[in-house]
Chains A and B, each alone.
Chain A
């Protein structure tokens, strides 16, 4: 859930500032995650520094993409920009196995085993005759996500940079006329988005997922859907959407406890996607979206 929220925010900020859906988000995150995994496993660097380095790699990639491709490709139309990001997906899908060799691995296993030896990975809360099990991993992720997103939203609302982003988002041309350096703004948002993506990927992989070049695809699909559900026109909409989607999924999963819905957990995501389709059918601009009017 936290992972999706971060990824959704990253997608939105690029969508707003460079008017393109960044399909390479997942692939770039996976690349950063591989860097972190390598640092942890091969060089034995502590987690915090490793994550920091990974995020830095993400930031550098983001800035490079913006500088080398998107700044030059301003004349390329919206569809072309999307296709360029799809090209990046292909580039990273090919590049990751070349750079990091073996395609699949569980990066944080060694790290987990040492932690597990000392403490139980779960918090157990007794409630209503049963027990609710929450993994410490989830708590840590939730903490990081809340802090990061809170800081970002405060910055967006009150800092000069945030004002620049919002101005660029509403109209790049006008923002430029008003003396905002839109080049810097888009570069920063690419850096931010890719950095956040790497953070999200590390958090996701930290749950014991095996990573491969495509392991973020599901998360990314969810993030995109969250953006659509929440509406691209606000920054908070996608985050709320990102919370709603896994929530709906767990609600559907919870139904499996009742008789008659026994096999439902296999169809969990399918049902959620269908619900989403219905939501979009009813409110195409998203739950928190505003309708945009287009002048000819």
Chain B
């Protein structure tokens, strides 16, 4: 027998048997199927909560986390695929929530109008800020967006002390809905944006962004317009953040501008932390990171006394994790997981080969 064939048959003894499961496996290797599956599971949580099988507080916290996950996906595109760091996420969330408040509470507009206006406003602001701060390389974007977030925060404080939407004013496709239905809307938005983003990443645009991240000079030489793709990534992340704000206003419906932590720098840092810790180059990693930073806190740790008394402890751990991950695992948890799986597979094959060799001797 050919030595290569011998090796293969020893390492993968069940080569033929695999075919049974491979159809299902092939379906789930498709990212769209994965996203759809997660979407169905997430939606199921709410129905189980309605049936009383899961506590509704858990479902509520999950919805909250999903909002942050939406924001984080946009940020992932900006940081992981274009190599730009922004500190203005909180500002754009605030922008979205104010637009939502103004339209829904002030003018009684239905959801889709609010959505369209949010998109328009965030795209406009994103283009203006991006165009100015992306003209030069380096840290300018982070600083300008930091300043912008401060501007929006002070602006909101001047405009309105408490932003509050009456539950009767939230109308979704002609029906008056409560937060349980908004949860489903959040899930749907999450799924749609996830699909859009994963398609974008695999399109020429996404490839151009990746090239740009790896080497600006080389990608420029290949004919990639830096400004165009950077601006695109920045605007997309702005839009996602504003969408997050819009959904937040519909879901939580209440925000005090002066004290809300949603508008401060710590939100931007938490989103950044979520993306870094989860893995800046992987959408699932980013989602996982959001669940680690926001989900753990609101869904599980809030039951433990120590963390209720010291919420700051979680912020501290986030900071520590960011530093360690950047220093030792630049790919985040996604990279760790992949490395672990590779290690397992190697071990398994090693064991089989050893057994085969032992057998022959």
Q: Which residues of A are interface residues toward B (Cβ below 8 A)?
A: 15, 20-21, 23, 69, 72-73, 76, 78-80, 82-84, 86-98, 214, 217-218, 221, 224-225, 227-228, 266-267, 269-270, 273, 276-277, 280-281, 284-285, 294, 296
Contacts and interface: CB of A to CB of B under 8 A. Distances in A.
Contacts of A87: 273, 276, 318-323, 326
B65 interface: no
Nearest to B143: A224
A192 B314 CA distance: 30
B295 interface: no
A93 B315 contact: yes
Contacts of B79: 79
Contacts of B305: none
B322 A84 contact: yes
Given A90-B269, A94-B315, A296-B218, 5 more contacts: A78-B138, A83-B85, A87-B326, A90-B315, A93-B316
A15 B138 CA distance: 11
A228 B318 CA distance: 29
A269 B154 CA distance: 9
A84 B85 CA distance: 12
Contacts of A96: 312
B84 to A, nearest CB: 8
B147 A73 contact: no
A103 B272 CA distance: 24
25 contacts: A21-B139, A21-B143, A76-B326, A76-B327, A80-B326, A86-B87, A86-B322, A87-B273, A87-B323, A88-B323, A90-B269, A93-B312, A93-B319, A94-B313, A94-B314, A94-B318, A97-B310, A98-B313, A214-B265, A266-B158, A273-B151, A280-B132, A280-B140, A280-B144, A281-B132
B264 interface: yes
A80 B313 CA distance: 24
Contact of B318 (A78, A90, A284): A90
Q: Of residues B84, B270, B330, which shows the largest number of chain A Cβ atoms within 10 Å of its Cβ?
A: B330
Contacts of B316: 90-91, 93-95, 98
Nearest to B128: A277
A83 B313 contact: no
B266 interface: yes
Contacts of A270: 151, 154-155
A73 B269 contact: no
B179 interface: no
Interface range for B: 35 or more
A217 B140 contact: no
B217 interface: yes
Contacts of A276: 147
A86 B273 CA distance: 9
B135 interface: yes
A217 B318 contact: no
A218 B153 CA distance: 11
A79 B132 contact: no
Given A82-B85, A90-B266, A90-B270, A296 B320 contact: no
A95 B323 CA distance: 15
Contacts of A80: 326, 330
A83 B151 CA distance: 22
B311 to A, nearest CB: 8
A25 to B, nearest CB: 12
Contacts of B323: 69, 84, 87-88, 91
Contacts of A97: 310, 312
Q: Of residues B136, B155, B158, which shows the largest number of chain A Cβ atoms within 10 Å of its Cβ?
A: B136
Contact of B140 (A73, A94, A228): A228
B151 A89 contact: no
Contact of B276 (A15, A83, A214, A281): A83
A20 B85 CA distance: 13
B245 interface: no
Contacts of B326: 73, 76, 80, 83-84, 87
Contacts of B84: 79
B143 A285 contact: no
A218 B149 CA distance: 11
Considering the complex of A and B, which 8 residue pairs feature the smallest CB-CB distances, nearest first? A94-B316, A90-B319, A91-B319, A87-B322, A94-B315, A87-B323, A97-B312, A21-B139
B135 A284 contact: yes
